[in-house]
């Protein structure tokens, strides 16, 4: 997406977004008021924040294999940390969501440098985390970070289309899914269709960069409109999906 397209997408979001005062669902209001706001947590002590700084200072080059964008080739680790890793604001929200729902089985598609997985691990130190990465070299760096900072996360390497089914069969059920890889419409919808077979009524789906491209916006609209999705939240950088069959179907664009 071009810079101008990104600006227009953000302006559309801001025009439609409501504050907590525009939310009438008790479940969503509780989420917005208790989970979304910054709390008093000292994040400077978090392994995710320390590892981010270490990656930003690392000018070593690795050969990146990118199945999603097709932009493969040599890239500095510091550049990946600047451009591809989640911002502190986004990472901290991942931490608070995991802390709120306490999922036991977490699946991440798109490990990158491992920063997001570290935030989620902090939210529930007892969770089982399996994180998928297509690029062997990027996965190697993530594993180094997990080992250095004593993070229990299982990194699996390979094209998602080849590895996802077997991993889901191994996990048997998923409580929280964070999809941050292959930002295209068709693969995103395919991942959702496959993973939902292993989900349950309280499973949380988090989709990254739902406004990253026209394709991703189309994928997000399709997912939010799915009859089994009863609550969907657009906070621009993330899209959150809940099945929660006990609720009426509602979609929110929230200012965050």
Q: CB within 8 A of 208, min separation 6: which ones?
A: 86, 110, 178, 179, 180, 183, 237, 238
**Upper half-sphere CA count for residue 230 (Cβ side, 13 Å):** 13
Domain spans, the chain: 3-46+86-253
Q: Are 123 and 146 in contact (CB under 8 A)?
A: no
3-state SS assignment for residue 153: coil
Query: How confident is the prediction along the chain (256 residues), in pLDDT tens digits per residue?
Result: 556 678 888 889 999 898 888 888 999 999 999 999 887 889 999 999 999 999 999 999 999 987 765 578 999 999 999 998 889 999 999 999 999 999 999 999 999 999 999 999 999 999 999 999 999 999 999 999 999 999 999 999 999 999 999 999 999 999 999 999 888 999 999 999 999 999 999 999 999 999 999 999 999 999 999 999 999 999 999 999 999 999 999 999 998 8
pTM assigned to the model: 0.94
3-state SS assignment for residue 168: helix
Task: Tell me the CA distances in angstroms from 46 to 91, 111, 116, 139, 176, one per residue in order.
Answer: 11, 18, 12, 21, 21
The two three-digit tokens of residue 9, written as one number: 């997408």
φ/ψ (deg, to 5) at 72: -95, 160
Confidence (pLDDT) at 40: 81
Confidence (pLDDT) at 204: 98
Confidence (pLDDT) at 150: 98
Count how many residues are written for the chain: 256
Q: Are 53 and 88 in contact (CB under 8 A)?
A: no
| CA triple 182-49-7, angle to 5 deg | 50
What is the Cα–Cα distance from 154 to 170, expressed in whole angstroms? 13
CATH superfamily of this structure's domain 3-46+86-253: Vaccinia Virus protein VP39 (3.40.50.150)
| CA triple 193-98-101, angle to 5 deg | 80
Confidence (pLDDT) at 68: 61
């Amino acid at each position: 997406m071009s810079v101008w397209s990104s600006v227009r997408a953000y302006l559309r979001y801001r025009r439609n977004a409501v504050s907590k005062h525009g939310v009438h669902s008790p479940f969503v209001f509780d989420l917005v008021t208790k989970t979304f706001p910054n709390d008093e947590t000292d994040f400077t002590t978090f392994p995710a924040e320390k590892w981010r700084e270490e990656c930003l200072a690392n000018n070593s080059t690795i050969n990146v294999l990118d199945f999603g964008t097709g932009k493969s080739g040599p890239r500095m680790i510091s550049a990946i940390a600047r451009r591809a890793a989640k911002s502190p604001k986004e990472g901290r929200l991942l931490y608070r969501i995991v802390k709120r729902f306490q999922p036991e089985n977490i699946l991440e598609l798109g490990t990158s440098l491992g920063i997001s997985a570290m935030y989620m691990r902090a939210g529930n130190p007892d969770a089982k985390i399996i994180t998928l990465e297509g690029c062997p070299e990027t996965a190697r760096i993530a594993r180094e970070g997990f080992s250095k900072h004593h993070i229990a996360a299982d990194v699996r390497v390979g094209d998602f289309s080849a590895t996802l089914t077997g991993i889901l069969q191994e996990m048997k059920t998923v409580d929280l899914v964070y999809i941050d890889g292959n930002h295209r419409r068709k693969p995103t919808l395919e991942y959702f269709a496959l993973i939902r077979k292993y989900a349950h009524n309280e499973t949380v789906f988090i989709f990254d960069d739902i406004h990253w491209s026209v394709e991703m916006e189309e994928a997000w609209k399709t997912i939010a409109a799915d009859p089994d999705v009863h609550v969907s939240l657009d906070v621009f950088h993330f899209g959150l999906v809940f099945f929660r069959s006990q609720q009426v179907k509602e979609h929110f664009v929230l200012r965050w």
